[in-house]
Amino acid sequence: MERLFATEKLGGRSLYRFQAVTVLVGICLVLCYRATHFPAAGSGAGRVAWLGMLAAELWFGFYWVITQSVRWRPVRRRTFKDRLAARYGERLPSVDIFVCTADPQSEPPSLVVATVLSLMAYNYPPEKLNVYLSDDGGSILTFYALWEASAFAKRWLPFCKRHNIEPRSPAAYFAESDEPRDPSISKEWSFIKGLYDEMTERIDSAVRSDNVPEEIRVNHKGFSEWSTGITSKDHQPIVQVLIDGKDRDAVDEEGNVLPTLVYMAREKRPQCHHNFKAGAMNALIRVSSVISNGPIILNVDCDMYSNNSDAIRDAMCFFLDEEMGHKIAFVQHPQNYNNMTKNNIYGNSFTVLSHVELRGFDGVDGPLYIGTGCFHRRESLCGRRFTNDYKEDWDRGINKEKRELSINKIEEKAKLLTTCTYEHNTQWGNEIGVKYGFPAEDVITGLTIHCRGWKSVCNNPTRAAFVGVGPTTHAQTMLQHKRWSEGNLSIFLSKYCPFIFGNGKISLQHQMAYSVYGLWAMNSLPTLYYVIIPSLGLLKGIRLFPEITSPWIMPYIYVSVVKNIYSAYEALLYGDTLRGWWNGQRMWMIRRITSYLYGTIDTIRKLLGLSKMRFEVSPKVSDEDESKRYEQEIMEFGTWSTVYVIIATVALLNLVCLVGWLCQILTSGGRNMPLNGFCLQVVLCGLLVIINIPIYEAMFLRKDRGRIPFSVTLASVGVVMFALSLYHYFEV
Ligand SMILES: O=c1ccn([C@@H]2O[C@H](COP(=O)(O)OP(=O)(O)O[C@H]3O[C@H](CO)[C@@H](O)[C@H](O)[C@H]3O)[C@@H](O)[C@H]2O)c(=O)[nH]1
Ligand SMILES: [Mn+2]
């Protein structure tokens, strides 16, 4: 039988592998040089510094080997929706869609409902679509917004389908241009846009005043849940079915069935730990099991709207494929953002991660689960082990005929499934559902699914399936990367370490692929060492690299040049600009010496029992002034933060070392400083100074509110002076 999807190997692998082997030889030679050229005894600081360089280079070499796992065998998937249609028509499995939101301030309800509307508008039989919104903020504002959306959907869905528009998030669609692409629909377009703008304004004004007017509250029984003045951290379970797709009256203005739409806020009590997003997902799994029980679950973050209305059919091509389908537990899509600037100032457009690493991961038994844009098989998410003879019951979804209880009764039943105590003495969060205990609940959940024998695939259609809001400030970027690096490292250091937990269950290459992210955070210390010590050495005349006349310099030059040329090539190949790549390198360094450093420290503190797990939600809005600077690609600092002190200190230290070295050369005419031995140190320090130019600007030249505050500059000057004097002290 014809396959529903095809797998293609990405080209150019022989060349890549040849290149990788030569780099590996280079790395070995570098380490060889380090180990055999220890400075003579008696050169105190020099020996210690050399030892540190050895350790850092050992780490980088090891980590480079690990990263080869996701570059060795990348694949690309292609789906055949026409074959799916020919074989199954509209007889497709029902899908439960989970959207999570946590806070109406950092995740505005109008943004959340634009996402919800895009998901309701999929090109998929509406009676088989069920959209669930989990609100961890337990906010009447979000409920109100969803209620508004349930009414607007009656106009929006037919409009989308009539004109086959993309994207189907009204916010994204209307933001694209001031008039429709097809002028013949301009009247209707303006009318719908008017309705949408009015709705958004009503929602936003309710959010501004933090109140839903009485005259609105009488329209739906759900509002009465908030009559007792509940708070986000202390409230009863709430489940409200806003559109019951099985109800005869739930139709749009053209008389078509609407997807089911459900609001859920699981019970919160101050004394009960709620396990953040993982807890919300598990409550959604249970609630949906009594309302629709779709065999496939799609899960997105509240900002990740559907950008491709065929994405569900695409996913079905994988699950329903006769040959491979039964092995696939989940179909992961890359994270795309719609608010990235041209030159990727904070390195957040994950071009290389999506196009290279995820596909490489896919070539080794399947990508990791990244928490959003992922279709899961309900059974594997709920703990089932893979067996070759398992047959999925695609008709398991609850339809009109199967439902016995009235919707009110179902709501009551669902509420009981979302109480604080429901999970006590159960396997939820451990063997069943999304796993608890790690800030990267997604990665650990995916890993356990793979270890139960399932495979996964990555789908990256030309028209991105999901698009969301990426971080637009330095602080937001740092917050996200700290959570990710910490989450992955704490998995690596737990009993779920891919090399231990995965041993015998998944291939070595798959274990390595997981470790690429598991070890992100550990890059912090070697990087910090490499951006500080060689530069200090330059200033103090401590040679740390081979002399220019020595043949040992060749592997150093070869490895760094080839590695960087290749990384620029990868970025350019998938649409980054050269400047974007350069900015990415800067952020790569900054992330390592800040977010990853904090991630490492916090993981260790947690291991020692000194701190508890947190999940700080990334804000999805920024103020106007900040946004303007973001558009202009000017880095945002603005407030005091120790993170900024680290960034400023490293930048300043390198500048001082380079200038200091230059002064010494000029004053001594090069007599005391044999140039020859310091070539690589000068290049390294020089590159660090060039890459840090935006940091110097933010410290000394810029006048706007986003500059590095004077207090940060002052602190970094203090640290640099202290470091230099300390160094001096040890030397004499
Ligand atoms: O207590 C919580 C905290 C968060 N969320 C939701 O989780 C999602 C992700 O949070 P966000 O702050 O946007 O995190 P990101 O860094 O953008 O998220 C990535 O990384 C997370 C793990 O660190 C995954 O959970 C996400 O799915 C993945 O997109 C959002 O929809 C939140 O509303 C909850 O529902 N409850
Ligand atoms: Mn997010």
- What pLDDT does residue 485 have? 97
SS (H, E, C) 629-665: HHHCCCCCCCCCCHHHHHHHHHHHHHHHHHHHHHHHH
At residue 231, does pLDDT exceed 70? Answer: yes
Give me the residue label for tokens 């380079």: 658
In a domain, 696, yes or no: no
Ligand nearest to the CA of 373: 1
Q: Write down the pLDDT at residue 731.
A: 56
**What percent of the chain clears pLDDT 70, i.e. is strictly above it?**
98
Q: For residue 598, give the amino acid letter.
A: Y
Rounded CA gap, 225 and 251, in Å? 26
The answer to whether 441 is annotated as binding is no
Out of 100, 232, 274, 346, mutate this one to test ligand 1's pocket (max ligand atoms within 8 Å of CB): namely 100
End-to-end Cα spacing for the chain? 79
Residue from 136, 303, 321, 602 carrying the catalytic annotation? 136
Confidence of residue 399 (pLDDT cuts 50, 70, 90): confident
**Rounded distance from Cα 618 to ligand 2 centre (Å):** 6
pLDDT at residue 658 tops 70: yes
- Domain containing 195: what range? 94-294+384-432
- pLDDT (0 to 100) of residue 102: 97
Q: Is residue 181 a part of any domain in this protein?
A: yes
What is the DSSP secondary-structure string of 235-300?
B--EEEEEE-TTSTT-B-TTSPBPPEEEEEE--B-TTS---HHHHHHHHHHHHHHHHT--SEEEEE
User: Which residue's alpha carbon is nearest to atom 32 within ligand 1?
Assistant: 101
Q: Take residue 187 and report the two structure tokens written for it.
A: 């009247």
Angle at 158 between CA 153 and CA 162, to 5 degrees: 150
Which residues does residue 262 pair with via DSSP β-bridges, in sequence order?
132, 241
- Residue 393 known to be catalytic: no
Nearest to 536 by CA among 680, 654, 399: 654
Q: Whose CA is nearest to atom 1 of ligand 1?
A: 276
Predicted pLDDT at 732: 39
Mean pLDDT of 679-684: 96
Contact at 8 Å (CB) between 303 and 337? no
Cα separations in angstroms, 527 against 57, 350, 486, 521, 567: 10, 21, 17, 11, 18
d(CA 52, CA 38): 11
Residues constituting the chain: 732
Does a structural domain hold residue 190?
A: yes
- pTM of the model as a whole: 0.96
Q: What is the pLDDT of residues 24-83, one digit of tens each?
A: 999 999 999 999 998 877 666 788 899 999 999 999 999 999 999 999 999 999 999 999
Chain centroid to Cα 197, Å, comes to 30
Question: Closest Cα to atom 20, ligand 1: which residue?
Answer: 371
**pLDDT, average across residues 634-643:** 94
Plot region of 565 (φ>0 → left; ψ -120 to 50 → alpha; else → beta): alpha
- CA Rg value for the chain: 28
Tell me the mean pLDDT in the region 318-339.
96
| Test site for ligand 1: of 274, 277, 376, most ligand atoms within 8 A of the Cβ | 277
* Smallest-distance ligand from the CA of 265: 1
pLDDT of 188-224, one tens digit each? Answer: 999 999 999 999 999 999 999 999 999 999 999 999 9
Q: What is the pLDDT of residue 724?
A: 87
If DSSP codes are grouped into helix, strand and coil, which group holds residue 104?
A: coil
Assigned domain for 422 exists: yes
Hey, CA dihedral for 716, 719, 723, 728, is it positive or negative? positive
Q: Is the pLDDT of residue 675 over 80?
A: no
Take atom 24 of ligand 1 and give the residue whose Cα is closest: 371
Cα of 691 to ligand 1 centre, how many Å? 31
Mutate which of 119, 490, 617 to test ligand 1's pocket (most atoms within 8 Å of Cβ)?
617
Query: Hey, whose CA ends up nearest to atom 30 of ligand 1?
Result: 301
Pocket test residue of 266, 274, 301, 348 for ligand 1, highest count of atoms within 8 A of CB: 301
Ligand 2 centroid to 414 CA: how many Å? 27
Q: Which ligand 1 atom lies nearest to the CA of residue 443?
A: 22
Output the pLDDT for position 670. Answer: 61
* Rounded Cα–Cα distance for residues 340 and 580 (Å): 11
Distance 105 CA to ligand 2 centre (A): 14
Nearest CA owner, ligand 1 atom 25: 371
Q: What is the dihedral of CA 314, 318, 320, 324, to 10 degrees?
A: 160
Residue with the nearest Cα to atom 33 of ligand 1? Answer: 101
Identify whether 176 is part of a domain. Answer: yes
Q: Say how many domains are in the chain.
A: 1
What's the whole-number average pLDDT of the chain? 94
Q: CA of 232: how far to CAs of 15, 139, 252, 268, 463, in Å?
A: 56, 7, 33, 7, 37
301 annotated as ligand-binding: yes
Count CB atoms within 10 A of the CB of residue 523: 21
Q: Are 120 and 153 in contact (CB under 8 A)?
A: yes
Q: Name every protein residue with a CB atom under 6 angstroms from any ligand 1 atom.
A: 100-102, 107, 134, 136, 276-277, 280, 301-302, 371-372, 439-442, 480, 483-484, 487, 615, 617-618
Nearest-atom index, ligand 1, CA of 468: 17
Residue in the structure block whose two tokens are 């490292």: 489
Q: Is the residue at 129 inside a domain?
A: yes
Helix or strand or coil: residue 356?
Answer: helix
Name the closest ligand to CA 442.
Answer: 1
- The string of pLDDT tens digits covering residues 569-598 is 999 999 999 999 999 999 999 999 999 999
Bridge partners (DSSP) listed for residue 306: 466
Percent helix, strand and coil across the chain, each rounded to 5?
55, 10, 35
Ligand 1 centre distance from Cα of residue 102 (Å) = 8
At residue 299, does pLDDT exceed 90? yes
d(CA 252, CA 250) in angstroms, rounded, equals 7
What are all long-range contacts of 250-258, with beta carbons under 8 Å and residues at least 24 apart? 251/154, 252/153, 252/154, 252/155, 252/157, 252/158, 253/154, 253/155, 253/158, 254/158, 256/126, 256/157, 256/158, 257/126, 257/127, 258/120, 258/126, 258/153, 258/154, 258/157
In a 3-state reduction of DSSP, which class is residue 456?
Answer: strand
Position 483 in a domain:
no
Annotated catalytic residue, options 252, 314, 362, 442 = 442
Can you give the pLDDT at residue 672?
Answer: 58
Residue pair 278/440 in contact (Cβ under 8 Å)? The answer is no
Q: Report how far ligand 1's centroid is from the alpha carbon of 439 (Å).
A: 9
277 alpha carbon, closest ligand: 1
User: Is 555 part of a structural domain of the chain?
Assistant: no
Gap from CA of 470 to ligand 2 centroid (Å):
7
pLDDT digits (tens, 9 = 90+) for 401-460: 777 788 999 999 999 999 999 999 999 999 999 999 999 999 999 999 999 999 999 999
442 among known catalytic residues: yes
Q: Dihedrals φ, ψ of 123, to 5°?
A: -80, 80
Specify the DSSP element, H or E, that contains 467: strand 466-467
Euclidean distance between CA atoms 248 and 257, whole angstroms = 8
**What is the pLDDT at residue 11?**
85
Band (pLDDT 50/70/90 cuts) for residue 310 is very high
Does 730 have pLDDT greater than 70?
A: no
pLDDT category of residue 671 using cuts at 50, 70 and 90: low
Tokens coding 39:
């400075």
617 Cα: distance to centroid of ligand 1 (angstroms): 6
- Look at residue 729 and tell me whether its pLDDT is greater than 70: no
In this prediction, the answer to ipTM > 0.90 reads yes
Q: Give the pairing of strands 296-301 and 95-101.
A: parallel
